[in-house]
Amino acid sequence: MTSPNDSPAPLDEDAERSAANERDVALMLRVKSGDIAAFEELVEIHQGPVIGTVGKMLGGYSDAEDIAQQVFVRVWKSAERYQPKAKFTTWLFTITRNLVFNEARRRKRKPTVSVEEREEESHRIVEDVQTVSPDQNVLQAELEASVNKAIRELPEKQRMAVVLRRYEEMPYEEIGSILSMSVPAVKSLLFRARAQLKDSLDKYLDG
């Protein structure tokens, strides 16, 4: 699968990312000194992306807010040791990665929600949309549910790379830092992930 995200970021987009990082680092340094208002502002800015990433990684949003809350608790507890050696989002999503991978492994050892229940949840989402939306929106919802299902079936590192690239539009370098991989390794990981996604979605579309 190809993605428009594979093209280099425009200069103005790079400038926006740089400015956003400067804002985040400044806020985090205030958090380091015990500034609760700065912490609340960071949470407000980043809780949406963190919850979205957790939800897509774990295949549902029932626990996503709880895991995201744990992420920000970890941010607060780690504030005293924080050093702006990398982008703030790299640091934040490394914490997110660790907690999500731990939760995913815990679920493998002790599953709490069956595959059937997850499928029922997806169908309920589609049915809810169907009651209030035109056919086109229903098809879009079904396709999105199939994309999410295909992403859930990827190995965890591939899944995280796809989520960060597709939904958070992160550059390869940042994904590599989060996953402790080189840029070529990230590109190879994404290539394999997209091949598997294409195969999964081709089966869905053929059906």
Query: Tens digits of per-residue pLDDT, 40-69?
Result: 999 999 999 999 999 999 887 778 999 999
Residue 12 domain-assigned (yes or no) = yes
pLDDT tens by residue, 109-136: 875 554 444 444 444 433 443 444 556 7
Residue 195 domain-assigned (yes or no) = yes
Taking CB atoms within 8 Å and a gap of at least 24, the contacts of 188-196 are 189/157, 189/158, 189/161, 190/158, 190/161, 190/162, 190/165, 192/158, 193/154, 193/158, 193/159, 193/161, 193/162, 194/1, 194/2, 194/3, 194/162, 195/1, 196/150, 196/153, 196/154, 196/158
Residue 129 domain-assigned (yes or no) = no
What stretch of H or E contains 80? none
Residue 140 domain-assigned (yes or no) = no
Q: What is the pLDDT of residue 160?
A: 97
Residue 47 domain-assigned (yes or no) = yes
CA distances to 64, 82, 114 from 126, in Å: 20, 43, 19
Residue 139 domain-assigned (yes or no) = no
Residue 135 domain-assigned (yes or no) = no
Q: What is the pLDDT of residue 111?
A: 59
Looking at the structure of the chain, the number of domains it has is 1
Binning pLDDT at 50, 70 and 90, where does residue 141 land? confident
| Alpha helix positions (H), 110-182 | 115-132, 135-152, 156-166, 172-179
pLDDT tens by residue, 152-204: 889 999 999 999 999 999 999 999 999 999 999 999 999 999 999 998 888 66
Q: What is the pLDDT of residue 122?
A: 43
Q: What is the pLDDT of residue 50?
A: 97
**pTM reported for the whole predicted model:** 0.79
CATH code for position 167: 1.10.1740.10
Look up the domain containing 69 and give its range: 4-113+153-206
Q: What is the pLDDT of residue 59?
A: 81
Residue 182 domain-assigned (yes or no) = yes
Strand residues in the chain grouped as ranges (E):
none
Q: What is the pLDDT of residue 86?
A: 93
